[in-house]
Structure 1
Amino acid sequence: MLPGVNRILYASDIRPGSRPAFRAAMSLCGHYKSQITFLHVVEPVSGHAERLVRSMMSDDPSLKALHDESLQHVQQQVVERVERFCREELDASEMLADGQLEARVEEGSPWKKILEVAEEIDATVIVMGVRHQNSLLGDTPTKVMHHCRRPILTVPL
């Protein structure tokens, strides 16, 4: 085990099948009585798609409101997912204290945001699920590992 784990960053794509990685993060959190941040990163719309939407909405000021509203909706989905996981999979001895878990939704390049948030919260360890698709680990986990100076726990999904 890692010595002195006091802050865990769990990065999730919130796709089906990601529970084993969250379970590992929660297990670490329970073992070390640490803080955990659940992070989901929303990739920004491509420049072409944004120009298309702007042309259809003719620079309508409600575009920013719509964008902000959709991010809030994703934030609420993440919070509900975390609460559902805790209800369904944790027993009373594993329940977290108030303030021990923070759920965040950020917008940007996933691997860069994971590193930024890890730095911001001074994460002791980053926990990520790994989907074995085209490459050995996947684009985001590979880039995080190549650019990170913190321990990373990868969990096969």
Structure 2
Amino acid sequence: MLPEVTRILYASDIQQGARPAFRTAVSLCGRYHSHITFLHVVEPVRGNAERLVKSMMHEDASLQALHDDSLGKIRQQVRDRVERFCREELAAETMLEQGQLDVRIEEGTPWKTILAVADEMDASVIVMGVRHQKSLLGNTSSKVMHNSKRPVLVVPL
């Protein structure tokens, strides 16, 4: 049995099929009347990819402005997806109340960023999905589990 759950960190790759893990996080939230932070981590563009992007840009364009604009668009897309999911798939009695859900988009190495955000918000539990059928855990979920100081709930997708 989990201890008192007041803050849930749900880490999502926002890929197709991630809904079962989010449903689990919402279910925990309803059970414990807690708060969910929906986190998506974007890996930064580095090395050859960065040089390729720079070579394709107009001279007057700023790579930082393009980066910031792209992150803003991703933030809005994730917020829209989460709101649509809540509207379409959650029963009225399990709907999250205003202020019970935050959406965060962070940039960094996924497993390290998940742990950093969990520490920052003092998460009671980290909920995340795993897709790999052949191995027990994916790379990110495995690293989160092995390095976390708090419970991690891994939901097969």
Q: What is the TM-score of this pair, normalised by structure 1? A: 0.94
Deviation, structure 1 residue 47:
1.4
SS in structure 1 at match of 2:20: helix
Asked if 1:72 is matched to 2:72, the reply is yes
Distance 2:56 2:34 in 1: 48
SS in structure 2 at match of 1:45: coil
Distance 1:25 1:41 in 2: 17
Distance 2:14 2:57 in 1: 30
**Segment drifting more, 10-19 vs 41-50:** 41-50
Deviation, structure 1 residue 3:
2.2
Per the alignment, residue 44 of structure 1 pairs with 44
**Segment drifting more, 20-29 vs 87-96:** 87-96
The residue type equivalent to 1:113 in the other structure is: T
* Residue-pair matches, total: 157
Per the alignment, residue 94 of structure 1 pairs with 94
SS in structure 2 at match of 1:29: helix
SS in structure 2 at match of 1:132: coil
The residue type equivalent to 2:113 in the other structure is: K
Distance 2:154 2:85 in 1: 19
Per the alignment, residue 105 of structure 2 pairs with 105
Following TM superposition, the consecutive aligned residue runs of length 4 or more in structure 1 with deviations greater than 2 angstroms are 51-62, 133-136
Distance 1:19 1:130 in 2: 11
Deviation, structure 1 residue 52:
2.7
| Paired residues for 1:49-68 under 5 Å | 49-57=49-57, 60=60, 62-68=62-68
CA RMSD in angstroms, aligned pairs only:
1.5
Per the alignment, residue 138 of structure 1 pairs with 138
Deviation, structure 1 residue 77:
1.0
Deviation, structure 1 residue 136:
2.7
Distance 1:59 1:132 in 2: 42
Deviation, structure 1 residue 59:
6.7
Mark the runs of 5 or more structure 1 residues left unpaired by the alignment. Answer: none
Mark the runs of 5 or more structure 2 residues left unpaired by the alignment. Answer: none
Q: What is the TM-score of this pair, normalised by structure 2? A: 0.94
The residue type equivalent to 2:53 in the other structure is: V
Deviations 1:59-110 (CA, angstroms, capped at 9, x unpaired): 7452211111110111111111111111111122111111110001111100
Distance 2:54 2:133 in 1: 34
Identity value in percent? 70
